[in-house]
Structure 1
Amino acid sequence: MVLAACQPQVVTKTVEVEKVVTQEVVVTKEVQVEKAVPTETIVFWSTENQPARAERTQKIIDRFTEQTGIGVELVLVDENAIDSLMAANQAAGTMPDVVFFPLDFAATWYAQGVLDADAATAAVQDLDPSTFSEGALSMVSTGDGKYMAVPSDGWGQLLIYRKDLFDQLGLEPPTDFDKIMAAAQALKDAGYIGIMAGTDPGQVFTQQCFEHFALANGVQLTDAEGNVTLDTPQMVEALDFYTTLMRDYGPGDTATYWLQARASYFAGEAGMVVWSPFILDEMAGLRDSVLPNCPECADDIAYLAKNSGVVPAFSGPSGGPAQYGQVSYMGITTGANAEAAKQFVEFWLTDGYLDWVGVAAEGKFPMRRGTPDEPNKFLEGWGNLEVGVDRRAPLSDFYSADVLSTIIEGANNFDRWGFAQGQGELVGAIYSELPVPQVIADIIEGNMTAEEGATELQAMVEEIQAGLSSGE
């Protein structure tokens, strides 16, 4: 399809308007220009289904239609149902043209013929691959120079720490395993919980927290051929470190999950916490249902925001800096009007981009840093976007330039188990069955050693993988 032939059709009409001037009726003619009538329409599925976010999304769509004449039907879908909905629509031949979706589905959808890698790669090339986060692109690489989808936005897990307490205790920022352990011990000795992170055997939060530490120590779920690689010295080291850290310097509760972790940090009880950046606006006191209540917060509700440091990527003794990241993508389906869909995606990541990440800036970090002419355009713009629920303000009102730049720099280290090796389906099964949190709880409770835990996980994940291969 040649898009040059798809320009907006401008429709005019003549309207008779009566105006009364000094008791005389004067009939004049005014020409009113109606909105452009779309010459074609594409369908866009989005998981940003909260009303306020949907309203902002529609405004961006309206701008695209005004500029191009291409109509867009916005369909809001639940992230938990999107996979089954896509399967049903693929079978019926009614897939959307463009879909906004989390990384978890990329490999599976590509293998099932849902995603058009040629169209996505063409969009990435048009926008310039060097303007994107390397990690976000690598996680959807097909292995032959193409990309399954176009990186949109994401969030990277953070190790957040009380900078004021670290300064008082003479502690270095917790950028590696040794410094994390030393800080946790010193904080506990000073009467605080050293660190809050996941230990609940039934929570994905525990998987997310530990995976961050495992990646930092060079642990991967599989090798390039898909062989499970969890029974390794690096994994034993990561399991031993994490379980010792949480058992000796955590809250002493083996069922810690995200709600307790945030609550302890907000109450001023813990000196470190592992959490997503969705905590940033809450630490600033912009959400009434989750307000910080530390002793210092009584005089300044944003005290924690102003006195916390962040470490996005840290490293273990056997690995380099790594950060657990959840990335979302714009995918063009194999049933799409490919040219119109590509034009929509390219608009979304240029003219509409800051408005898009501004839908929920604290958790929508731009995976496209800027343009070839302005390499940091979107990163700099992100720092000035407003966040919050009951009140809205830019993150830069509460967090220093150093904190924001640290978060920005961390985006290049986003990593996840399995995706770069094409094991998205296995990752999904592991997140469903949660063998890792179960083993972590067993080690903390003294039911097995770290060595036994690594061996057990190797066997459990191999069994899950075999079940997927046999269709069980």
Structure 2
Amino acid sequence: MKNQTALIVSSSLLFSQLAGATTVEFWTAQTQTDRMQTIELLASTFEALYDGVTVKVVPVDENEMATQMAAAVAAGTTPQLIEVNSEIIMAFGEEGIVNTKVHDSVVADIGKERFHKGALTTLTSPDDQYYGLPYHGWIQGIWYRKDWFDEKGLAAPNSWENIETAAKMLTDKSNNQYGILIGTKQDSYTEQVFTQLALSNNAAEFDSKGSLVFNSPATLETIEFYKKLSEYNPPGPQNWRARDYYLQGKMGMFFYSTYIMDDLALAEVAKGSLTSENFKELSGGTFDPDLVKNTAFAPIISHKSAASYGTLSGLVALKTSSMAQSDATKDFIEFMYDPASYITFLHMAPGGMNPMLKGIAEDPAYLDDPNGVFKLYGADKMKQIVSGFDDIRSFSVVEGMTFPESGEIFAKSVIPRMLYSVTIEDESPKKALDAAEQEMKAIVAQ
């Protein structure tokens, strides 16, 4: 901890000092005790560098953020800064309570080109205002056996054609080997995989005017492609757990988020996927220390457009009548983006918290994470992994407009149930799509 403090202080000595006393109240969604300790360390370091400024760190459960903010707005006690997910950020932006001038100033100081384009666009309003500043997130894509791909002369699975070709060529059912893993259970993993493919085909749930447009030729084509891919999936309804096939050398590629990184790199973490307990078709195996070296990642899938899928959280300055508070908030945000501070924060959850600024993922200090994972991937792979944030998209935000109904559709598993009926129950894609649309209309009408 002392070394972290020294590193942060030494890298921040050039920050300007603020005159006068002021308080920045910072609400963070990181409520775990160990994470709060790290954030308190960062706040204390900032206070040591900026005379007269106090940072009050307040943990707020993300599920309670909107309710507590509404109460604070009504009472006139809003914080100066929050850290929360993108959906809540956009909602607060539409309510008019965010300080976009501070965000503009931070982007200008750091450099717009430093941010991953898709991440910054996700938090941009229809009239090009920054409702928040992207800070961390995870990205999904296809993890694949690059050594197998090279042996068979296969191109990286970054397009529909390449994915289908590789899935077919790498499937050998007689030897219990499968080309790909996609979700076919009625759960969130299935929706996450489908969403990335759908977005790459320009399919959507809503248009920018809020009209439901899910039942479209683009969505139907995606469902039909999804059904094709399921032919190269392990048998039966599957979800993320079937990653065991990959870790036991029985699968060519699978969709997963960056949370899988330690499983591929560390024997202790991987052991839960090396047994026969989860699948009777698997006999278990030993950890392959070369798996991380032989694994590559395709974060962006292209068909009619390029798309990646993931989640991100950002920093949001809120409106205040105090110029001193506004200035202090801006300085604290920029301190949090300083490499030493930023890396300290991101290392609270290696793989789960990835940087939104270009160059951080290759920084030697970032590669030296507490679990020793990132060094096993190396700077080039880490850069490739976070490049997915350049094209990150979602169903819930369209051209800067947010649609909370998308979250309700997600909560009721409309899409996973639709895909289950097609891939497991052999329902026709058109009939399943029509039924899903009717469910969505009912949800929107509520």
Q: TM-score range by the shorter chain?
A: 0.7 to 0.9
* Residue pair 2:184, 2:424 contacting (<8 A) in 1 also: no
Pairing partner for 1:448 from 412, 427, 437 = 427
Offset, 1:287? 5.0
What is aligned with 2:397? 419
Matching of residues 73-472 of structure 1 within 5 Å = 73-189=56-172, 191-201=176-186, 203-246=187-230, 248-254=231-237, 256-258=238-240, 260-285=241-266, 287-288=268-269, 293=274, 298=286, 301-316=288-303, 319-335=304-320, 337-350=325-338, 352-369=341-358, 376=359, 378-381=360-363, 384-387=366-369, 392-396=371-375, 398-421=376-399, 422-446=401-425, 448-467=427-446
In 1, Cα distance between the equivalents of 2:31 and 2:419? 34
Compare CA radii of gyration and give the structure with the larger one: 1
CA RMSD of aligned residues (A): 2.7
In 2, Cα distance between the equivalents of 1:261 and 1:333? 43
1:185-219 Cα distance to aligned partner (Å, 9 max, x none): 22222631222232221x22221111011111121
In 2, Cα distance between the equivalents of 1:383 and 1:311? 24
Letter in 2 for 1:58: E
1:122/1:405 Cα in 2 relative to 1: closer, same or farther (>3 Å)?
closer
Letter in 1 for 2:81: V
Q: Is the partner of 1:225 in helix, strand or coil?
A: coil
* Residue pair 2:308, 2:391 contacting (<8 A) in 1 also: yes
* Residue pair 1:184, 1:194 contacting (<8 A) in 2 also: yes
Offset, 1:383? 7.8
In 1, Cα distance between the equivalents of 2:444 and 2:44? 45
* Residue pair 2:248, 2:284 contacting (<8 A) in 1 also: no
In 1, Cα distance between the equivalents of 2:366 and 2:390? 20
In 2, Cα distance between the equivalents of 1:165 and 1:119? 49
Letter in 2 for 1:61: A
* Residue pair 2:264, 2:270 contacting (<8 A) in 1 also: no
Provide the TM-score with structure 2 as the length reference. Answer: 0.85
In 1, Cα distance between the equivalents of 2:306 and 2:419? 22
1:86/1:264 Cα in 2 relative to 1: closer, same or farther (>3 Å)?
farther
In 2, Cα distance between the equivalents of 1:420 and 1:350? 31
In 2, Cα distance between the equivalents of 1:326 and 1:379? 17
Consecutive unaligned residues of structure 2, counting only runs of 5 or more, are 1-14, 276-282
What is aligned with 1:62? 44
Most deviating of 278-287 and 436-445: 278-287
In 2, Cα distance between the equivalents of 1:221 and 1:116? 30
Letter in 1 for 2:347: G
1:177/1:87 Cα in 2 relative to 1: closer, same or farther (>3 Å)?
same
In 1, Cα distance between the equivalents of 2:139 and 2:17? 42
1:250-288 Cα distance to aligned partner (Å, 9 max, x none): 12222x223x13333223332211111011122111654
Letter in 2 for 1:7: A
Consecutive unaligned residues of structure 1, counting only runs of 5 or more, are 9-38, 370-375, 468-472
1:94-134 Cα distance to aligned partner (Å, 9 max, x none): 33221111112122222234433333233323332222121
The size of the alignment, in residue pairs, is: 417
Alignment of 1:40 onto 2:52: no
In 2, Cα distance between the equivalents of 1:405 and 1:416? 22
Most deviating of 75-84 and 129-138: 75-84
What is aligned with 1:25? none
